[in-house]
Chains A and B, each alone.
Chain A
Amino acid sequence: MARAGEATILHADLDAFYASVEQLLDPSLSGRAVAVGGGVVLAASYEAKAFGIRAGMPGWRARRLCPDLRFVGGHFHDYQRLGDQVIDVLRDFTPLVERISIDEAFLDVAGTEHLFGSPGEIGAAIRRRVRREIGLAVSVGVARTKHLAKIASQTAKPDGLVLVEPDRELEFLHPLPVELMWGVGHVTLARLTSVGIRTIGDLAATSDPVLRRMLGRAVGNKLGSLATNADPRRIETTRQVASVGAQSALGRRRPTSGLLRSTLGYLADRVAGRLRAAGRSGRTITVRVRFTGLRSVTRSLTLSIPISASLTLTELSAELACAALADHPREHEITLLAVSVSQLVDDSILQLQLPLGLGVDRSRPGTASGSARWAVDRAVDAIRDRFGRDAVGYATVMFSEGGRVPEAFRQLAERSGGRLGGQG
């Protein structure tokens, strides 16, 4: 257990991870501007970032900024492999490792001083070992809280270490720009800058009621306390995820039934597949529809019996999305759809239903049609395990996609730290 007064939390974050792995695998790329992706930049090396190239940027614009830019396809298996190796290095220092995505993790090194030295020394040792044994650069932040450690590692980039001493935390935090804070995205940033809040210190000086009014209750409270460095969260090594979700940004699209069906089918298939892989199923289905101007609406439904079938989740999501759209007849375009499932339970036991032929049986997993869906999902999962995710899928989903984020990339992003279920 960390003693409240000492900086024992480390945040280790690999620098430009995907692009760095590409440079590692192909030495001819090292020192050059590299982008992973093609139509869209998914990740960029520091050399490319120096030209102003950013993740999410269209490929043509990136090429215009840097004509020498080298595009590479993405070695997703190697990302996972090398990311895992880095985590193994971290686990050599303490079992208290909380992986939060493919390329970053928190550690709590309280009580390991006699073995490995001070937290700052451990941070330096981690950086040395990752560089020497794996060949990648990792930046490390050391602080008393998770939030501060994460901010410290961001300021340490590239390839650095920043230690925030407990007695100069606010001195460190307050001059930094608000966008370094966890949870400050485009929308929040725009709202904050519109009222002149640019640094974390500005945020800390703003009263809680004002923040809540501006950002909503939850976000306002959270940012307010983080800005004054109140963050009681501990390292969680076995996070049991409470929900599983996926979302798709659509640009600006008319919500036709075809678009809904294919997008929700795609999202539901992802979510349901991840549930099944973890041996879980869930009772509450939530769909979020975002309109232009960042207005969004959520609809959810709680079933008496938990589900994990792709097709059932697709149908229920579509019903929820249609209900949400029907309530907002004046919204003509949507920009994002999201599906999530919560109230998760272990999926290993299922009471089957008598085939009574009742109308509502479709969504019940134990019915004959439910069992058929279960069998289809199992077959699809088995094929995907062996031949990859794109090997098989629902036609409405597979034949309607263009220019999406590559499948393997999404999987890496979603397979972050949180563990879905007992079996992992």
Chain B
Amino acid sequence: MRLTCQPATLSQALQTVSRAISTRTTLPILNNVLLETTSSGLALTGTNLEIGIKKLVEAEISDEGSTTVPARLLTDFVGTLPQQQLELSLDVASQTLSLRCGRFDTHIKCIEADEFPPTPRSDEGDTIKLPLAELLAGIEQTQMAASTDEARPVLTGELLQIEGGRLTIVATDGHRLAERRLQVTSGDGLEARLIVPARALGELPRAFRGDSGEAQITVSQARNQIFFRTGSTGSSEVTSRLIDGTYPNYAQVIPNKSSTVVRVDTGELNQTVRAVSLFARDSANVLRIKAQADGLALSATTNEVGDSRAELAAEVEGNEIQIAFNARYVLDALASVAAEQVELRFDGPLSPGLIRIPDHDDYLYVIMPVRVAM
């Protein structure tokens, strides 16, 4: 293996694939990053056997080959190199990688590529395509609602439901639920309900930074692996195992009736909740919302800290209501609403509240209230 590339490009790609490399692995080979020459450049792969990240780096290849290099050392070293051409060459017999760049002449001991766990192949799986920007936005709008509680593994994943030419992404931790619907541009014959670890989805924005165009999602035939890819040549790829299990029938928790409907300016509400919730520091960050004829009143109190109250104009239809939520859950939702106005729907102080964009049904967010003893 012999090639030349730019240290900056390589460094960035190494940082991205290192996200899949665990520092506490029992298998030493998993500390390494796989380097492979391909027809379109140098491919880097890191994996922890659950999540794999692959990045393609532009490179001038003179001899083909592959090896695995200690990821931490290589990443740290390449990160310090000057902006001069970097030449990599592997001595196959001794598995030593030479790095020459400016005044540096460096040798790193490697492990043969055959030792690296085989990367799952996606070739025969079912595939859908959709705009990358949409996919990333959909993940960003839902990911925070996924659970981190390993006692309920299914909820640590997000549901990707592919059906009727649509991809629906859902996440819930049992307290709030976010749902985003996206249109698929090709592959509308496929139907599937997949549970993807939220951590894997969280890697997509980083792994695909700088990429554009279409994203391609492929499900392995055994339905146990999922592949996300960008670019016609697959310049970046994130693979993940799927979580085994049945995702709860989430549709049943989406309220289908409401006794109070509020429309309010998103930015103003966001800013107000942010300010008032500084006083919602108790165990459940309790933010009280009162909807009355002419608007909303928000308040929060923490013993020994203080309290805050604010009013803001809003269109309120239906009954007056007083309800309490965890302020963090409300802020998470408002950060995801990319619209001037937001709609809040309530159906009593102990029933779930709904946050959505008026006249749109591609995003919704359900929050269970906090019961506050009177």
Contact = CB atoms under 8 A, between A and B. Distances in A.
Given A350-B370, A351-B368, A358 B350 contact: no
27 contacts: A279-B373, A304-B149, A346-B283, A349-B282, A349-B283, A349-B286, A349-B370, A349-B372, A350-B370, A350-B371, A351-B175, A352-B175, A352-B371, A353-B175, A353-B368, A354-B174, A354-B176, A354-B177, A355-B253, A356-B172, A356-B174, A356-B248, A356-B252, A358-B174, A358-B248, A364-B174, A366-B371
B128 interface: no
A353 B152 CA distance: 14
A345 B284 CA distance: 12
A30 interface: no
B66 interface: no
Interface string A333-373: 00000000000011111111111111010001010000100
Given A304-B149, A349-B371, A349-B373, A354 B352 contact: yes
Contact of B151 (A346, A350, A360): A360
Interface string B324-343: 00100000000000000000
Given A356-B174, A356-B253, A371-B350, A351 B284 contact: yes
B77 interface: no
Contacts of A354: 172, 174-177, 253, 352, 366, 368
A239 B248 CA distance: 45
B25 interface: no
Given A345-B283, A360-B151, A360-B152, A351 B370 contact: yes
Main SS of the interface on chain B? loop
Interface string B279-313: 00011101000000000000000000000000000
Nearest to B177: A354
A309 to B, nearest CB: 13
Given A279-B373, A345-B283, A366-B368, A353 B248 contact: no
Given A349-B284, A358-B152, 20 more contacts: A304-B149, A304-B151, A346-B283, A348-B372, A349-B372, A350-B370, A350-B371, A352-B175, A353-B368, A354-B172, A354-B174, A354-B175, A355-B253, A356-B252, A356-B253, A357-B249, A357-B252, A358-B174, A364-B174, A371-B371
A354 B152 CA distance: 14
A352 B149 contact: no
Contacts of B326: 351
Given A347-B373, A350-B370, A351-B326, A356 B283 contact: no
B341 to A, nearest CB: 25
Contacts, number: 66
A348 B177 CA distance: 24
Given A279-B373, A349-B371, A366-B368, A356 B250 contact: yes
A352 B350 contact: yes
Contacts of A346: 283
Interface string B242-266: 0000001110110000000000000
Contacts of B352: 354
Interface of A is mostly: loop
Given A345-B283, A349-B282, A349-B283, A355 B252 contact: yes
* Count class of interface residues, chain A: 20 to 34
Which 8 pairs, one residue from A and one from B, show the smallest C-beta to C-beta distance?
A348-B373, A356-B248, A352-B368, A350-B371, A354-B253, A349-B284, A351-B284, A353-B174
Contacts of B175: 351-354, 366
Contacts of A345: 283
A111 B152 CA distance: 58
A364 B149 CA distance: 14
Nearest to B329: A351
A352 B250 contact: no
Interface in B136-187: 149, 151-152, 172, 174-177
Nearest to B283: A349
A367 to B, nearest CB: 9
Contacts of A348: 372-373
Interface in B228-252: 248-250, 252
A277 B176 CA distance: 30
A350 B282 CA distance: 11
Contacts of B282: 349
Nearest to B254: A354
A161 B282 CA distance: 49
A279 B374 CA distance: 12
A368 to B, nearest CB: 10
B7 interface: no
A304 B175 CA distance: 14
A349 B176 CA distance: 17
Contacts of B370: 349-352
A371 B176 CA distance: 17
In this complex, the member of A304, A345, A358 whose beta carbon has the largest number of chain B beta carbons within 10 angstroms is A358
Contacts of B369: 352
A247 to B, nearest CB: 29
Among A349, A354, A356, A360, the most chain B Cβ lie within 10 Å of the Cβ of: A354
A422 to B, nearest CB: 10
Contacts of B371: 349-352, 366, 371
B10 to A, nearest CB: 43
Nearest to B149: A304
A350 B370 CA distance: 5
- Most chain B C-beta atoms within 10 Å of own C-beta, residue among A304, A347, A348: A348
A32 to B, nearest CB: 50
A396 to B, nearest CB: 28
Nearest to B368: A352
A349 B373 CA distance: 6
Contacts of A356: 172, 174, 248-250, 252-253
A358 B366 CA distance: 17
Contacts of B152: 358, 360
A70 to B, nearest CB: 47
Contacts of A371: 350, 371
A340 to B, nearest CB: 22
Nearest to B324: A349
Nearest to B369: A352
A370 to B, nearest CB: 10
Contacts of A364: 174
A357 B248 CA distance: 7
